[in-house]
Amino acid sequence: TTCIILEKDIVLHNELGNGSFGVVKKGEWKVSTQPPQTIPVAVKVLKADAFSQPGIYDDFRREVEAMHSLHHPNLIKLHGVVFHPLMMVCELAPMGALLDYIRSQNGKVSLNFISKWSSQVAAGMAHLEKNRFLHRDLACRNILLSTLELVKIGDFGLMRALPDADDCYVMSERRRVPFPWCAPESLRSRQFSHASDVWMFAVALWEMYTFGEEPWIGLNGSEILRLIVRDGQRLSAPNACPPDVYMLMMQCWDLVPKERPTFAGIQRYMETNK
């Protein structure tokens, strides 16, 4: 079961950034082992308004149990939760969000790194897929850098754990909704699946190969949906993107969810095309 951590065992330090659903701070966790040891952690302090509706705690606890049971080198480890205030105590990724790193390099990111990061994200997502766990919000902002050689996916399942008040977070304006990353079926009828995670994965790849551009910049959800569904448009091939990677992206952006590759298939493809 999930480790319930006492507030007294967490020391909070500087802010690391604004993640989804709350602010993230660097912290230290005094683990009550013998002898007691202190480990560096990242603490996501969840916004109270996410817990407005009744029964949210039970849903949250169930989701956190599931998150806690997922272990993979390319997934941020959830150590436990503190209740009141609600905080998720997680593995620290010292180099922060991949998107911030890529943007800070002004287009000078080696394609070898991008290819390595892509296959690590595919491996982490294949682990979620194998465990029948949906991410629902995969994007470069939710991929974290432990080292330049190792990326980890964060926030998996959080969208489900903390649905918006009207539980269709995709349509709610209150939170920055990930329209440009969403599969059409998620935008249209809030359907989420491994196939919609695969769609989002390809958008995250597009972000990496454009060195951090915003997908469908300036367009709102309905304009994006029309371009994709009515006009058959897709994000254009980034200049730095190898042709076979763009072909993979286009397969992940198939309008028909079951025509898209699985993460198991994507991982195999990336292993062989290293």
Ligand X SMILES: Nc1nccn2c1c(-c1ccc(Oc3ccccc3)cc1)nc2[C@H]1C[C@H](O)C1
Q: How many CB atoms lie within 10 A of CB 33?
A: 7
Of 136 and 194, which has the nearer Cβ to ligand X?
136
Backbone angles phi, psi at 19, to 5 degrees: -90, -175
The residue (of 27 and 221) whose beta carbon lies closer to ligand X is 27
Residue 204 or 241 with smaller CB distance to ligand X: 204
The distance of closest approach from Cβ of residue 239 to ligand X in the complex, given in angstroms and rounded to an integer, is: 27
- Return the residue nearest ligand X (CB atom): 17
φ and ψ at 268, to 5 degrees? -60, -45
The residues binding ligand X (CB under 6 A) are 16-17, 19, 24, 42, 44, 67, 76, 78, 88, 90-93, 96-97, 144, 154-156, 158
9, 49, 58, 137: which is the annotated catalytic residue? 137
Distance in Å, CB of 267 to ligand X, minimum:
20
The nearer residue to ligand X, 16 or 102, going by C-beta atoms, is 16
Minimum distance from CB of 260 to ligand X (Å)? 24
> How far is residue 16 from each of residues 150, 191, 228, 270, measured CA to CA in Å?
19, 32, 35, 32
Q: How many residues does the chain have?
A: 274
- To the query of whether residue 137 is one of the catalytic residues in this protein, the response is yes
- The string of DSSP codes covering 87-126 is EEEEE--TT-BHHHHHHHTTT---HHHHHHHHHHHHHHHH
- Under a CB-based contact definition with an 8 Å cutoff, are residues 201 and 266 in contact? yes
In whole angstroms, the minimum distance from the beta carbon of 147 to ligand X comes to 12
Active site residues: 137
